[in-house]
Chain A
Amino acid sequence: MKYLCLIYLDAENWNACSDIVCADYAQQITQSQRLLAAEPLHATHTATTVRVRQGEVDVFDGPFAETKDMLAGFYLIDAKDLNEAIQIAAGIPPARYGCVEVRPVRQLQLDQPDVVRSADAMPGA
């Protein structure tokens, strides 16, 4: 299964992990053939948010939501199951300073457009 590991860090810990440390870990999981993609991101003040309403493109400065913990990068991994994904996520260096959200990747249901899978019911709906 594919999982997207989203790395969140607050301002204080934004630079806590050096690029060398991060590259080392990415190299390790590449060798075990678990890594599909991984990239670090520029800080949130460089973000631009785009949305389209009534055909108009609205463009905003900044991230979609202002929060204390900011999206700092991602790993797209291929793991046997959630336990393996958690183990890989726990090894991502920034996990020691911020946190890593592990989300299973969904496949688009192109052949059965009417089927809503129970897991996709929105929380609180």
Chain B
Amino acid sequence: MDDLLHDLYRNESRRVFSTLVRLLGSFDVAEEALHDAFIAAAEQWPTQGVPANPTAWLVSTGRFKGIDRIRRDRRLLAWEDAGIPVETLAGNELDVEQWLEQAGEIEDDRLRLIFTCCHPSLTQSAQIALTLREVCGMTTEAIADAFLLATPTLAQRIVRAKAKIKAAGIPYEVPGEALRPARLSSVLRVVYLVFNEGQASHNASLINESIRLARLLRQLMPEPEVIGLLALLILHDARREARRSASGEVMLLEEQDRTVWNHTLIAEGSALAQEALSQHGFGAYSLQAAIAALHGEADSLVTTDWNQIIGIYDVLLHFEPSPVIALNRAVAIAMRDGPEASMDLIEPLLKQLPGYHPAFAAAADLCRRCGRIDEACQHYRKAISLIRHEPERRYLHQRLSELVIEK
């Protein structure tokens, strides 16, 4: 019984939660109701048997527990002026079991939850914290840890965001056709940023949660950019093991042992990238996935199809004219035509990206390969001063000290 409840909690609790938010109209009441429902299950199922549809039972029980709480807790009455009187909630005796059988309802609730947590009227840091807390069910402590923040700071960020959702009337809905493209891109951005942070800090739970989210989104809303983002994350994650040496040091693409890349993931990611690009409406994530797929399919830097990669970067720049993409393109050109070829491209980008350490690390590497040692040292020092994560800092320090010894 413990195992069953444990599995249900792990696999179904956020799904039940997302429906309870809709039925009860409040994140906090839904969270408490969810826990009440699991406590009731632990008490009742051993003697009364496991219900035919445990998820439906949890939703139904949670809903009644939630309404009880609202009635009991006088302080919550202020919530009535949000427009949902308790009587309405309690009065409509809907048959939850029957309603659950209506295909899609519960999946829609998960999308509603995701779109609400990523509403653009919340700051991006609040969107990320809320999504990890409410959609993924990560604890506040784990999220704070991952983002190097004090737990109370992160907790306050979540409380404020929930208060805004309630006070400003952010609806619990999947936005309609007109708003959907913009809103979806804010959702995808959150997933992408969580993955990036996971990679930068080597935090497996952030990486895994972001990929789970992308898989869920792909299942619920299989639009080209959703598929493209999933492909991109999977392809990057396929190189997870090769990114660090046995002693935990950073390994750049050129130094990675390609035999430890996860080729099952590369195959899955490449197929997804192709699927995304074959549809109308693909964008920057799908194109980045295509580039990652070309890297994944090559067995060395020399055999990498740099022509095609540079071609995709050109298209990508057209979609999203950003200096970071221009930087990556310049690095690809250096790989194809030699470091001298991209020095002129890199210089102006450093001015546009004054706080972006990978730009200075890339410039340092190019200068080193051209034999411009003084400039290389200068760029390494700048990159080191900008970096947040220790392994990357150690890596650059090592490169810098090698150059200083050479001199």
A contact set with B: CB distance below 8 Å: 1, 3, 79-83, 85-87, 102, 104, 106-107, 109, 112, 115, 117-121, 123
Interface residues on B, range: 20 to 34
Q: Which residues of A contact B168 (CB under 8 A)?
A: 82, 102, 104
- Please tell me if the beta carbons of A83 and B179 are within 8 angstroms of each other in the complex: yes
- Please tell me if the beta carbons of B78 and A109 are within 8 angstroms of each other in the complex: yes
- Please tell me if the beta carbons of A82 and B121 are within 8 angstroms of each other in the complex: yes
**Closest Cβ–Cβ distance, residue A113 to chain B (whole Å):** 12
Choose one: A1, A115, A123; the contact of B169 (CB below 8 Å). A1
Q: Which residues of A contact B169 (CB under 8 A)?
A: 1, 3, 79, 81-82, 85, 104
- Please tell me if the beta carbons of A118 and B171 are within 8 angstroms of each other in the complex: no
Cβ contacts A to B, 18 pairs, < 8 Å? A3-B169, A81-B170, A81-B171, A81-B173, A82-B169, A83-B170, A83-B175, A85-B169, A106-B167, A115-B75, A115-B78, A117-B78, A117-B163, A117-B167, A118-B159, A118-B162, A119-B167, A123-B160
B91 sits at the interface (CB 8 A): no
Q: Which residues of B contact A106 (CB under 8 A)?
A: 167
The 0/1 profile, CB within 8 Å of A marked 1, for residues 106-150 of chain B is 000000000000010100000000000000000000000000000
Distance in angstroms between the alpha carbons of A123 and B163 in the assembled complex = 12
Distance in angstroms between the alpha carbons of A69 and B78 in the assembled complex = 35
Q: Which residues of A contact B159 (CB under 8 A)?
A: 118
Distance in angstroms between the alpha carbons of A123 and B167 in the assembled complex = 14
Q: Which residues of A contact B164 (CB under 8 A)?
A: 119
Q: Which residue of B lies closest to A79 (CB)?
A: B169
Q: Which residues of B contact A80 (CB under 8 A)?
A: 171
Given contacts A119-B163, A121-B163, contact A82 B78 (CB under 8 A): no
Q: Which residue of B lies closest to A83 (CB)?
A: B171
**Closest Cβ–Cβ distance, residue A1 to chain B (whole Å):** 5
B81 sits at the interface (CB 8 A): yes
B22 sits at the interface (CB 8 A): no
Q: Which residue of A lies closest to B175 (CB)?
A: A83
Distance in angstroms between the alpha carbons of A3 and B170 in the assembled complex = 12
Apart from A83-B171, A104-B167, list 16 A-B contacts with CB within 8 A.
Answer: A1-B83, A3-B169, A80-B171, A81-B170, A81-B173, A82-B170, A83-B170, A83-B175, A87-B178, A87-B179, A104-B168, A109-B78, A112-B77, A112-B78, A117-B163, A121-B163
Given contacts A1-B169, A119-B167, contact A107 B75 (CB under 8 A): no
Q: Which residue of B lies closest to A106 (CB)?
A: B167
Q: Which residue of B lies closest to A86 (CB)?
A: B121
B166 sits at the interface (CB 8 A): yes
**Closest Cβ–Cβ distance, residue B352 to chain A (whole Å):** 25
Distance in angstroms between the alpha carbons of A2 and B119 in the assembled complex = 19
Distance in angstroms between the alpha carbons of A102 and B120 in the assembled complex = 13
In the A-B complex, the 6 residue pairs with the smallest Cβ-Cβ separation, listed nearest first, are A119-B167, A81-B171, A119-B163, A118-B163, A1-B169, A81-B169
Distance in angstroms between the alpha carbons of A1 and B78 in the assembled complex = 15
**Closest Cβ–Cβ distance, residue B169 to chain A (whole Å):** 5
**Closest Cβ–Cβ distance, residue B86 to chain A (whole Å):** 16
